[in-house]
Amino acid sequence: MRFRSAPAFAGLAAIALAATACGGDTGDGGETTAQGELVVWTDPERADAVQAAAEQFSEANGINVSVDSVAFEDMQGDVLNAHQAGNAPDIFIGAHDWTGNLVRNGAVQPIELPQDRAALLDETSLEAMSFDGQLFGVPYTQENLFLLRNTALAPDAPQTFEDMVEVGSQLKEDGEVSEVLSMAVGQEGDPYRMNTLFTSAGGYLFGQDDTGTWDPSDLGVGTDESIEAMEQIAEYGEAGEGVIRRSITIQNYASLFFDEEAAFLVAGPWDLAGADESGIDYAISPVPGFTDGGPAQPYIGYQGFFVTEGSANSALAEEFVTTLVTDTDFILGLYEVDPRVPVQTDALESVSTDDPNVAAISEAGAEGMPMPSIPEMGETWQPLGVAQAEIIGGGDVREAMEAAAQTISEQIGE
C-alpha cells in the first residue's frame, strides 16, 4: 500500500497557494471548478458535519471548499457518470466494496497516506479500501451485522445457532413469540445476511490468493463445500424446522422484533434507533455459528473518502482526506449525525466510553470479513440470493447452487 511518512500538513499552504495561482476553467465544457477550489460530494445526512470541517479547512488554507449532497445509493453511479462527463467532484464519500469498480473505470486515484496517519486507523479497514496493493480511499467507519436479543425473553446470549433455535423454539411453543428468529430472506434472498450462516457452515463466495486478494477465478458458489453449507442451512428452512423463512423480508424483519414477535434479530446499526424507540430491553452479541462449524462471519462494510482521478486539485484533495478523515474531532462530528463505528482508534475509544453498543457491535464483527471489493462482486448478489431463497423454500440445493454458479460465471466471464 502507498503510505508515506511526511507530516500531514507539510507544504499544505504552499499547495493551496500554487493551486490558487493556477486558477482557471477546467476546459472540459462541463461544470467548471476553479483551481484552488474543492468540490466534495456527501450524502445529505452527513453534509452538515462535512460542511463544518470544510469551512475550517477553507479558512485555514485560503481556498473554497464546496459541499454538495447526493443520495448515498446514487453516489457511485453519479460519480462514474460525472467522471465520464468531465465534471466529477474532487472528493466523495463511498463504500469500500465500490473500490474495484471505481478503479476499473479509472474514476479514483491512489492515495498516499502518511504513516503517522495510517497508524491511527484499523489496519483491516485500510486493506479493505485497497486494490492491487494500492490505497484508494481513506476509511472512517465500519458496519457489520450482529444479533439483537430481547433480554426479557432470552436473558443469555446463545453460544451456537442450535442454542438460539432451542430457546426461540421454546418461546414459540409457549406462545411468547410467533417467530423463532427474525432474519430477512424474502423471495429473492439476502446473501448479505445469509453470509453469517453460509460461512459458519463452510461455504464461500470467492477464494483468496496468497496475498489475501480476492480471486474471481475461484468461485465457490457451486463447490461441494458451499452446497453442503446450504444443505445444513436448509435444515432450518421452510421444509425443515421453519426457523428461516421467505415471509420474513427486509420490510418486516425489524418490526417482528420491535413488536416482540421474535426474541432474536439478525440486525445492523441502522436498527438500533427503532429498538430504542420500541422500549425493549435488548443486548448485542455476535451472530452465533453452528455447533460443528466455524464462526459466523458477517460482512464488514467500510465507508471512507475517495479522491477522483483527474481532479485539477488532486494534491489539495489528497491533503483534505488524509488530514481530516483521520482527525478525531472530524470523525466525532460525523458520528454525532451518523453513529457508525469509527475505525480511527481515538474516536472509537471516545464513543465506546459513552455508548456501550459501539464496543458490542465492534466485538460482534471480530470474526467478520470485509465484503469483497472486486468488480465481480456485483454480479453475485442476484443469482446467489435467488438460489438461497429457493433453497429456503425447499428447493433442490445442488441444482439451485450450481445454476447460480453458472449464471455468475457467465456474467463475470470466467
pLDDT in tens, 348-391: 999 999 899 999 999 999 999 999 999 999 999 999 999 999 99
Helix (H, G, I), strand (E, B) or coil at 54: helix
Contact 328, 8 (CB under 8 A): no
Measure the CA angle with vertex 311, ends 308 and 315; round to 5°.
Answer: 95
Task: List, as one string, the DSSP characters of 160-223.
Answer: SHHHHHHHHHHHHHTTS-SBS-B----TT--HHHHHHHHHHTT--SEEE-TTS-EEEEEE-TTS
pLDDT band per the 50, 70, 90 thresholds, residue 1 = very low
What is the distance between the alpha carbons of residues 145 and 269, in angstroms, rounded to a whole number?
Answer: 8
pLDDT at 87: 94
Asked if pLDDT for residue 20 goes beyond 80, the answer is: no
Q: What is the mean pLDDT of residues 39-57?
A: 94
> Which secondary structure element, helix H or strand E, spans residue 274, and what is its range?
helix 272-278
The gap between the terminal CA atoms of the chain, to the nearest Å, is 28
pLDDT at 216: 93
- Looking at 62-141, list the stretches that DSSP marks H as alpha helix, in order from N- to C-terminal side: 72-85, 99-104, 115-118, 123-128
Amino acid letter at 179? E
Closest C-alpha among 400, 349, 343, 409 to residue 380: 409
Asked if pLDDT for residue 50 goes beyond 70, the answer is: yes
pLDDT in tens, 251-288: 999 999 999 999 999 999 999 999 999 999 999 999 99
pTM above 0.85, yes or no: no
pLDDT band per the 50, 70, 90 thresholds, residue 60 = confident
Asked if pLDDT for residue 198 goes beyond 70, the answer is: yes
Asked if pLDDT for residue 16 goes beyond 60, the answer is: no
Higher pLDDT, 247 or 210: 247
What mean pLDDT is reported for the chain?
90
User: Dihedral sign, CA of 261, 262, 268, 272?
Assistant: positive
Contact 23, 34 (CB under 8 A): yes
pLDDT at 211: 76
As a residue count, the chain comes to: 414
Chain position carrying cell 507539510: 10
Among 2-16, 156-170, 250-264, the range scoring the smallest mean pLDDT is 2-16
> Which secondary structure element, helix H or strand E, spans residue 133, and what is its range?
none
Chain position carrying cell 445442488: 398
pLDDT at 414: 57
CB atoms within 10 A of CB 309: 17
pLDDT in tens, 379-397: 999 999 999 999 999 999 9
Q: What residue ranges in 101-205 does DSSP mark as E strands?
A: 113-114, 130-131, 134-135, 137-144, 146-150
Strands 91-95 and 37-42: parallel
pLDDT at 29: 37
In the chain, pLDDT over 70 holds for what percent of residues? 91
What is the distance between the alpha carbons of residues 322 and 316, in angstroms, rounded to a whole number?
Answer: 10
> Which secondary structure element, helix H or strand E, spans residue 381, and what is its range?
helix 381-392
In the chain, pLDDT over 90 holds for what percent of residues? 83
Asked if pLDDT for residue 98 goes beyond 90, the answer is: yes
Q: Which domains does the chain have, with CATH numbers?
A: 3-143+301-364 (3.40.190.10), 145-299+373-412 (3.40.190.10)
Closest C-alpha among 156, 147, 150 to residue 287: 147
Higher pLDDT, 170 or 414: 170
Q: What is the mean pLDDT of residues 32-47?
A: 80
pLDDT in tens, 292-339: 999 999 999 999 999 999 988 899 999 999 999 999 999 999 999 888
pLDDT at 63: 86
Asked if pLDDT for residue 32 goes beyond 50, the answer is: no
